[in-house]
Structure 1
Amino acid sequence: MDLPTGTKAEESKVAGDNLAQLGKAGAVLMVCRTCGKKGDHWTSRCPYKDLAPQTDAFVDKPPASDTTVAAPGAGKAAYVPPSMRPGAERASGSDMRRRNDENSVRVTNLSEDTREPDLLELFRPFGAVTRVYVAIDQKTGMSRGFGFVNFVNREDAERAINKLNGYGYDSLILRVEWATPRAT
């Protein structure tokens, strides 16, 4: 049976010779990782793989001395995170999490329906607000009745306390006072 040109049988015969055809067509040839030559073979079909030296380690593996530093007083080398290595700046991690509690206001007697955008809307007229937090019960998803508002300026926070302490909000009378700093 004669098959017309371009059939699957002819295509499969040509498919094994793709690399040679690519080289002739002027396409970019791959570099063999075993022998390092550009050519008509890839690493898995390298004719020189039996002659190449066997290596057990990865080429890109970093030397052990870069990731381990001997801990003071320890006999073995132990991993030391980059932030703890000699010469690393210490202030970056802990200072980023610290916030300015001096301008923080505690709001109590909030209704169960109060959310952070509600408190932001209530306190924004007094000045720039940096953070709003409403305590939410994990099981019910409802407000626990208190929250915190942090202001940029202490004067703005003081004005908010003076105006909103005793203010009727959502059928309840709010209690607004300076927040006591957390004990660390």
Structure 2
Amino acid sequence: MVSTEEVLLERPLAPGKQAEEPSTPGDPLSMESMRGGALLMLCRICKKKGDHWTSKCPYKDLAPQAGGFVDTPPSADGRAAPPGERAYVPPNKKEGADTRRASMMRRNDENSIRVNNLSEDTHEADLLELFRTFGPVTRAFVARDKWTRSSGGFGFVNFVRREDGEKAISKLNGYGYDNLILRVEWSDRPN
């Protein structure tokens, strides 16, 4: 004969803790329901621990309205909306924004040259090696296919001085490189 007896094990309490109150069966807030994996959540509207979430709070109509996000456009000058009305303002439009930093981050494309008819094997280092004989180069870029990562057939080279770019165009336009004839021109046609 097998005897089945329910044995309750109690966890020892930390010093200074009080014993738990006995709970009634079916109580959703009891410790037994907590052991089953349920978590007590704090409602953000009524600030009570309970069996409802914030979106299902029965007291949400009675709670005072919090100053949440209000979708209003900024004022005419592009600055933040007047106090009391809140709207998103990009960081560069906020009071005290550093406008010098944004202008320093822009590339100087006036000395930029576009190189067309590059082979699939061309890399930035190849362009740099080819063009730095004409003067200091600040950037060499080869457009690449998104998936194969092979050359897209064109690239850009930025020179420090415009005169160096003019020399490179006059010497390398029509130049045979990697079994192809290069076409070299200003990336933005000067007026």
Where on the TM-score scale, by shorter chain, does this alignment land: which range?
Answer: 0.5 to 0.7
Residue from 172, 177, 183 that aligns with 2:185: 177
Q: Distance in 1 between matches of 2:91 and 2:187?
A: 36
Q: 1:120 aligns with which of 110, 128, 150?
A: 128
User: Among residues 94, 98, 114, which one is paired with 1:85 in the alignment?
Assistant: 94
Residues 1:160 and 1:139: Cα distance change in structure 2 (over 3 Å) = same
Separation of aligned partners in 2, 1:179 and 1:77: 43
Runs of 5+ unmatched residues, structure 2: 1-14, 16-78
- Aligned 1:20-169 pairs, distance under 5 A: 71-73=80-82, 75-76=84-85, 83-93=92-102, 95-169=103-177
Give CA deviations for 1:82-103 in whole Å, capped at 9, x if unaligned. 654323332322x133111111
Please list every run of 5 or more consecutive structure 1 residues that lacks an aligned counterpart in the other structure: 1-44, 46-69
Shift of 1:176: 0.4
Matched to 1:90, the amino acid is: T
The two structures have a TM-score, normalised by structure 1, of 0.55
- Classify 1:80/1:108 alpha carbon distance in 2 versus 1 (closer, same or farther; 3 Å): closer
Quick check: which one's helix share is greater? 1
Structure-2 change in CA distance of 1:79 and 1:145 (3 Å): closer
1:75/1:124 CA distance change after superposition, 3 Å: same
Compute the RMSD of aligned alpha carbons: 2.8
User: Aligned pairs, how many?
Assistant: 115
Q: Which residue of 2 aligns with 1:19?
A: none
Contact 2:81 2:87 in 1 (8 A): no
Q: Distance in 2 between matches of 1:147 and 1:79?
A: 38
CA distance 1:82–1:175, shift in 2 (3 Å): closer
